[in-house]
Structure 1
Amino acid sequence: MSRSSEPTRERIVQAANALFYSEGIRRVSVDEVAAKAGLTKRTLYYHFKSKDDLVAAYLAARDQPNLALFRKWFSETEGGVPGKVEAIFKNLARSARHPKWKGCGFLRTSAELANMPGHPAIRIGAAHKKKFEDWLRATFAEQGVKDPLKLARQILLLLDGSFAVVLLHRDASYMETAGEAARTLIETVLRKPRHRRG
């Protein structure tokens, strides 16, 4: 793709991001995305062959920024790993108190596409969650945790569970409670004898 076409593509993805996250992918038409991007539908279809491709691009654009934000919150927090992981939950709770917060875009999209497991957006969402899990696993492995993958998955379940409950109740304190549980769980695991590295 030529450089001159990249800004147009980015405008479309930005418009899709704003609309899909706010309204949901099924409620938003391609015409609405094109209008918000200030383009014709024909121009949009020049860059994306279908709405499915556009939905996939929307999620792909959220992938690295979201992961980078989690790592930033983790690294900027003083202290050990338990508190650093809890900080991710605390910062998400702060975000959840914003009136425009609509939960996790990856989970919401997967719910809307639950009857389409082969959809490219489902694969992107699954890959995003796996990247977060892998980062946690590597972090816990560095701490000498015996089963870092199990702990990473437990934290991921707390995180995604809190996304769902906060969205349901509109009460961000559930996310803070999940963060406290994550911290306690990690502290408990770290108190156990560490495995020896061969």
Structure 2
Amino acid sequence: MVERNVTPRRGRGGRERILAAATALFEAQGINATGMEEVAARAPVSKRTLYIHFPTKDELVVAYLRHLAEAGLTIESALDRQDLTPRERLLELFTVSGNGTGPIRGCPFVDAAAEFPDPDSPAHAYTREQKRRFTRRVVELVSELGAADPDLLGEQLAILADGAASRAMVLNDPACGRHARAAAEALLDAATA
């Protein structure tokens, strides 16, 4: 028996165009300020096509966040750089890029959690798991450095990185990363001495 595709596909690449449009709009104006009709118009796809790919905005937001993580477009990607030592990877978390074309947006996961405050919503749940994964990755790296209590230091560095990203966004000042980096260096030095 041959299964029929009951979901019609309108044109190739509709999903990718929707994600690209959502990414541009979410980064420019925020998630809650962006309507699904606006995403469809920017893609450009029909609202029907948009809802075939993403039946709810929550699903679109999770796909957007997953795309950012998988494409290495978040600060967490620094933890996987093989051209840096473990210490350098950790300190790279505190590089806040101000691209000069718009405001600093901070961490997209923190932004999404703030815009979807219900901890049971799919978007909030996804951001929570990403933050846990991020902390586990930081713990792995501080373990490689021989930290006395890698779980504690990993949590401290994760909190510091999130705080630096949030403060840089609120103040629209990439210098916040430099200040947090100095604190991270002090924590690393004390824990690995």
TM band (smaller chain): 0.7 to 0.9
| Partner in structure 1 of residue 183 of structure 2 | 181
Q: List aligned pairs for 1:71-82, cutoff 5 A.
A: 71=79, 74-77=81-84, 81-82=86-87
| Partner in structure 2 of residue 125 of structure 1 | 127
Q: Deviations over 1:147-191 (max 9, x none)?
A: 211111100111111111111212211111101110110111000
Give the RMSD, CA atoms, in angstroms.
2.2
Percent of aligned pairs sharing the same letter: 31
Amino acid at match of 1:108: D
Amino acid at match of 2:54: F
Change in Cα spacing, 1:177 to 1:36, as seen in structure 2 (3 Å) is: same
Which sections of structure 2, spanning at least 5 residues, go unmatched?
Answer: none
- TM-score of the two chains, using structure 2 as the length reference: 0.85
Structure 1 contact 85–183 (Cα < 8 Å) conserved? no
Q: Deviations over 1:125-151 (max 9, x none)?
A: 111111211111111222222221111
Alpha-carbon shift at residue 68 of structure 1 (Å):
6.4
Pair 1:104-2:124 in alignment = no
Which sections of structure 1, spanning at least 5 residues, go unmatched?
Answer: 192-198
Higher deviation after alignment, 5-14 or 129-138: 5-14
Q: List aligned pairs for 1:150-165, cutoff 5 A.
A: 150-165=152-167
| Partner in structure 1 of residue 144 of structure 2 | 142
Q: Which structure is richer in relative contact order (CA contacts within 8 A, separation 6 or more)? A: 1
Which of the two has greater helix per residue? Answer: 1
How many residue pairs get matched? 183
Q: Deviations over 1:61-119 (max 9, x none)?
A: 112223663135x5434xx54444223313xx2x13533331111111111112x1111
Change in Cα spacing, 1:6 to 1:157, as seen in structure 2 (3 Å) is: farther
Q: C-alpha distance in 2, partners of 1:158/1:189?
A: 15
| Partner in structure 2 of residue 40 of structure 1 | 46
Structure 1 contact 113–119 (Cα < 8 Å) conserved? yes
- TM-score of the two chains, using structure 1 as the length reference: 0.83
